[in-house]
Amino acid sequence: MVEKIAYRVSATVLLLAVLAIVAMLVMGLTRADAGSSSASVKTLVAEDRAPEPVAQNISELEPMISEPVDIAEKLPLSDTFVVKRILQIDEPFVHGYYKWDDEGVPDGELVVTVDLKAESISVFRAGYEIGAAVITFGDSEKPTPTGVFPISQKSKDHVSNIYGSPMPYMLRLTNDGVAIHASDVKWGWGTRGCIGVPMEFARRLFEQAKLGDRVIVTNGKMLGLGDAIL
């Protein structure tokens, strides 16, 4: 009888020991998984804190690197815009020339018009023309599209990721890369669809333009005092 009791006690002790070992193994695996999860979290945090990459740059008519915000839907614009002043330009309006005069002009909606036939760009604020310049634009192989385009992206120091050429003060107009940017504006020169303007003109326009401002590109539509732009 005593031997049977001793045997049972020994068996019980052995069973408890096995259970303790199993419990220790389970705890060890759980801690290992937790440590692995923690390491993953640290890795993600480190990646999130990494310096932001330089904005991918576009060339004229090159594919977009990232989709811009649909500004047209988010920023409703007024239905009409009436021209209240046309800049007086006495100098020869030649390639490389620009004029900018916003002194005394009230704040208001900014609208940019481009006439490909006249090779010119005009900037209106609150109905007053504050800037005008001669432009370069797309050739017959890659023409500049006409229509109404909201500015969907701005990049001050843009460089083409395809051609490696600078595109300072870039204002994106289309998803396939058409933009307004500073360029050498010379007679007979063309672009890959973009609208090139003199450097100082581009800087001034860049400072005043906001995402969602409209750029209206036409081919032979000139505006006069009192004319309305849809």
In this prediction, residue 51 carries a pLDDT of 31
The answer on 158 and 223 residing in a single domain is yes
The answer on 13 and 104 residing in a single domain is no
Q: What is the mean pLDDT of residues 4-11?
A: 45
| pLDDT at residue 207 is higher than 90 | yes
The string of pLDDT tens digits covering residues 118-144 is 999 999 999 999 999 999 999 888 899
In this prediction, residue 222 carries a pLDDT of 79
The string of pLDDT tens digits covering residues 85-124 is 999 999 999 999 999 999 999 999 999 999 999 999 999 9
The whole domain housing 44 covers 1-50
Residue 62 inside a domain? The answer is no
Least confident of 29-38, 119-128, 221-230: 29-38
Give the DSSP letter string of the chain: -HHHHHHHHHHHHHHHHHHHHHHHHHHHHHHHHHHHHHHHHHHHHHHHTSPPPPPP---TTPPPSSPPP-HHHHS---S-EE--B-----S---TT-EEE--TTPPP--EEEEEETTTTEEEEEETTEEEEEEE-B-B-SSSPPPPEEEE--EEEEEEE-TTT--EEEEEEE-STTS-EEEE----TT--BSS-EEE-HHHHHHHHHH--TT-EEEEESS----TT-EE-
For the domain that residue 121 is a member of, what is the CATH number? 2.40.440.10
Residue 13 inside a domain? The answer is yes
The answer on 100 and 42 residing in a single domain is no
